[in-house]
């Protein structure tokens, strides 16, 4: 099948290389010339495991092309996928500017019967609006059939998640269009659920809001565990053994970040306000998360009797999660800002996200090239992202370089046995008893 994709971000690019991998002829279009130049050479503009192998293999096989020309990219495509960004506006609603622009860019080049798939996360009703824009701007002979096909991949495992997804949601009011999109995905052998356009749009928001709520719930449980002397890891394990609860997304920590959960929960909340539907749990989910993101700062401040000015704090991890260089809504941003405001000197280290972090956090903190450089002479270490490198660090040797070994683990990711075997350390996890040796 000939497929065109508008937007080569995390979603568009992962979709593009995956569809090429299963044999389709794919052309990815983006307005960002620098990105397209890199992609044409098989270089991935994002850090995503496996991406460059997929790129080179499929470009070489002639199944994958990149262009900035909507005309060239869309020509002859049976299916056009929109995967542009839908960031949040100041009031929390989804900003559909890129989507509207992409629809206008596309309309003039649509051929007689085109299926237009919206993969971007969009509020209920957006497919209808985009169809109207396309119809108003395309040739009168063209018939546009919309399919809502939200994406559920996770950054850091985007390709695996696309190729081995739990489900593919296909929302359309045209049975033929839905069948065609189902056929496009058929080599993946992933269960497809066919539904209406509006239900498909809603499934995406309801799923992300539910996962975010699960995270805030376990974080609230963690804070209670600290107060009453229980261990949230055991509590979560015990809860998760109940199949109705499930054991995923019950890791206590410093909250969710990234390009999806924060903005999607806010956008859904915005919809509930517009529709005057009471959905207070969303407001609590967001409030708990906001507070949880600075929990490590509060703990650090308490440990140093309310004064961290002049202290060197090593912040390990900058990206919002491991295996990505994405800094969007990363908890590290708020932590760095709060600690700097309190007069601390923050030395941050991340294996891949430093370049992006500099753009977001700026020069108010220093950036180390190695983990060792960050922790040297530090008064405390804050583990903010659970990269393998952080999990595997040699805790016993920290004593040789740090002023005193005080660790605040925002991801509960350090090895308990190793910690217990170390001398003269203080370890403060989230929702679990501290280890002091």
Ligand X SMILES: NC(=O)c1ccc[n+]([C@@H]2O[C@H](COP(=O)([O-])OP(=O)(O)OC[C@H]3O[C@@H](n4cnc5c(N)ncnc54)[C@H](O)[C@@H]3O)[C@@H](O)[C@H]2O)c1
Active site residues: 260
Question: What's the N-to-C CA distance of the chain in angstroms?
Answer: 63
User: Looking at residue 11, what DSSP letter applies?
Assistant: H
| Least distance to ligand X, CB of residue 262, Å | 11
Candidates 30, 226, 350, 386: give the one binding ligand X (CB under 6 A).
30
| Least distance to ligand X, CB of residue 231, Å | 31
**DSSP strand pairing (366-367 vs 380-383):** unpaired
Candidates 6, 327, 330, 430: give the one binding ligand X (CB under 6 A).
6
Reference 207, options 267, 261, 147, 262; nearest CA is 261
How many CB atoms are located within 10 Å of the residue 298 CB?
A: 12
CA distance 153 to 162: 6
Candidates 58, 149, 155, 219: give the one binding ligand X (CB under 6 A).
155
Binding flag, residue 17, ligand X (CB under 6 A): no
Rank residues 138 and 222 by Cβ distance to ligand X and give the closer one: 138
User: Looking at residue 16, what DSSP letter applies?
Assistant: H
Rank residues 102 and 235 by Cβ distance to ligand X and give the closer one: 102
Place of tokens 């509930």: 272
| Least distance to ligand X, CB of residue 261, Å | 10
| Least distance to ligand X, CB of residue 6, Å | 4
Reference 220, options 297, 295, 131; nearest CA is 295
At how many degrees (to 10) do helices 280-293 and 261-274 cross? 150
Rank residues 262 and 317 by Cβ distance to ligand X and give the closer one: 262
| Least distance to ligand X, CB of residue 19, Å | 15
Reference 262, options 181, 200, 208; nearest CA is 208
| Least distance to ligand X, CB of residue 4, Å | 10
- Under rule CB under 6 A, which residues in 390-409 are in contact with ligand X? none
Contact 72, 105 (CB under 8 A): no
What's the number of CA atoms in the CB half-sphere (13 Å) around residue 303?
22
The residue range among 4-12, 56-64, 192-200, 416-424 that interacts with ligand X, by the rule CB under 6 A, is 4-12
The site that binds ligand X (CB under 6 A) totals a number of residues, namely 27
| Least distance to ligand X, CB of residue 27, Å | 12
- Rg of the chain on CA atoms, in Å: 24
- Under rule CB under 6 A, which residues in 114-143 are in contact with ligand X? 120-121
The residue range among 52-60, 147-155, 360-368, 392-400 that interacts with ligand X, by the rule CB under 6 A, is 147-155
Q: Give the list of residues 6+ apart from residue 122 with CB closer than 8 angstroms, or none.
A: 86, 94, 96, 99, 148, 201
Q: How far, in whole angstroms, is CA 395 from its chain's centroid?
A: 29
Categorise residue 312: left if φ over 0, alpha if ψ from -120 to 50, beta otherwise.
beta
- Under rule CB under 6 A, which residues in 331-370 are in contact with ligand X? none
Q: Give the list of residues 6+ apart from residue 417 with CB closer than 8 angstroms, or none.
A: none
- With 0-12 / 13-18 / 19 or more C-beta atoms within 10 angstroms meaning exposed / middle / buried, residue 149 is buried
Rank residues 17 and 29 by Cβ distance to ligand X and give the closer one: 29
Rank residues 120 and 289 by Cβ distance to ligand X and give the closer one: 120
Binding flag, residue 259, ligand X (CB under 6 A): yes
User: Looking at residue 276, what DSSP letter applies?
Assistant: T
How many CB atoms are located within 10 Å of the residue 363 CB?
A: 7
- Under rule CB under 6 A, which residues in 73-102 are in contact with ligand X? 83-86, 98, 101-102
Binding flag, residue 315, ligand X (CB under 6 A): no
Candidates 3, 4, 7, 147: give the one binding ligand X (CB under 6 A).
7
Rank residues 102 and 313 by Cβ distance to ligand X and give the closer one: 102
Binding flag, residue 1, ligand X (CB under 6 A): no
CA distance 428 to 170: 45
Structure token pair of residue 200: 């498909």
Contact 47, 324 (CB under 8 A): yes
Binding flag, residue 325, ligand X (CB under 6 A): no
The residue range among 26-34, 54-62, 172-180, 341-349 that interacts with ligand X, by the rule CB under 6 A, is 26-34
Binding flag, residue 9, ligand X (CB under 6 A): yes
| Least distance to ligand X, CB of residue 105, Å | 5
- Under rule CB under 6 A, which residues in 34-53 are in contact with ligand X? 35
Rank residues 165 and 308 by Cβ distance to ligand X and give the closer one: 165
Candidates 17, 24, 66, 105: give the one binding ligand X (CB under 6 A).
105
Q: Binding residues for ligand X, per CB under 6 A?
A: 6-12, 29-32, 35, 83-86, 98, 101-102, 105, 120-121, 151, 153, 155, 259-260
């Amino acid at each position: 099948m000939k497929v065109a994709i508008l937007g080569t971000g995390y979603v568009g690019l992962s979709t593009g290389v995956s569809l090429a991998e299963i044999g389709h002829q794919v052309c990815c279009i983006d307005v960002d010339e620098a990105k397209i130049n890199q992609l044409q050479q098989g270089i991935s503009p994002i850090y995503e495991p496996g991406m460059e192998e997929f790129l080179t293999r499929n470009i070489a096989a002639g199944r994958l092309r990149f262009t900035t020309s909507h005309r060239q990219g869309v020509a002859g495509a049976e299916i056009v996928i929109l995967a542009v960004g839908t960031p949040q506006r100041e009031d929390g609603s989804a900003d559909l500017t890129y989507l509207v622009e992409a629809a206008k860019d596309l309309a003039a080049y649509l051929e007689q019967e085109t299926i237009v798939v919206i993969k971007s996360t969009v509020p209920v009703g957006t497919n209808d609006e985009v169809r109207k824009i396309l119809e108003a701007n395309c040739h009168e002979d063209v018939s546009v059939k919309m399919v809502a096909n939200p994406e559920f991949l996770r950054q850091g495992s985007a390709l695996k998640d696309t190729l081995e997804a739990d489900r593919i949601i296909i929302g359309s009011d045209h049975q033929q269009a839905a069948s065609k999109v189902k056929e496009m995905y058929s080599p993946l052998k992933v269960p497809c659920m066919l539904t209406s356009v509006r239900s498909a749009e809603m499934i995406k928001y309801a799923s992300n809001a539910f996962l975010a709520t699960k995270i805030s719930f376990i974080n609230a449980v963690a804070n209670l565990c600290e107060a009453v002397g229980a261990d949230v890891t055991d509590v979560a394990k015990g809860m998760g053994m109940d199949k109705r609860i499930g054991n995923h997304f019950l890791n206590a920590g410093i909250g969710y970040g990234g390009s999806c959960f924060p903005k999607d929960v806010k956008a859904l909340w915005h919809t509930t306000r517009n529709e005057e539907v009471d959905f207070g749990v969303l407001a609590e989910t967001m409030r708990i998360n906001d507070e949880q993101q600075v929990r490590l700062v509060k703990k650090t401040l308490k440990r140093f009797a309310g004064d961290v000015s002049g202290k060197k704090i090593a912040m390990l991890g900058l990206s919002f999660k491991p295996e990505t260089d994405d800094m969007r809504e990363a908890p590290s941003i708020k932590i760095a800002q709060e600690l700097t405001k309190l007069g601390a000197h923050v030395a941050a280290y991340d294996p891949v996200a430093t370049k992006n972090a500099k753009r977001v956090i700026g020069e108010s903190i220093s950036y180390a090239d190695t983990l060792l450089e960050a922790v040297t002479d530090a008064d405390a270490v804050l583990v903010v992202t659970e990269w393998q490198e952080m999990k595997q660090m040699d805790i016993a040797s920290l004593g040789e370089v740090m002023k005193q070994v005080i660790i605040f683990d925002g991801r509960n990711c350090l090895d308990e046995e190793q910690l217990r075997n170390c001398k003269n350390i203080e370890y403060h996890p989230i929702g679990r008893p501290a280890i002091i040796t």
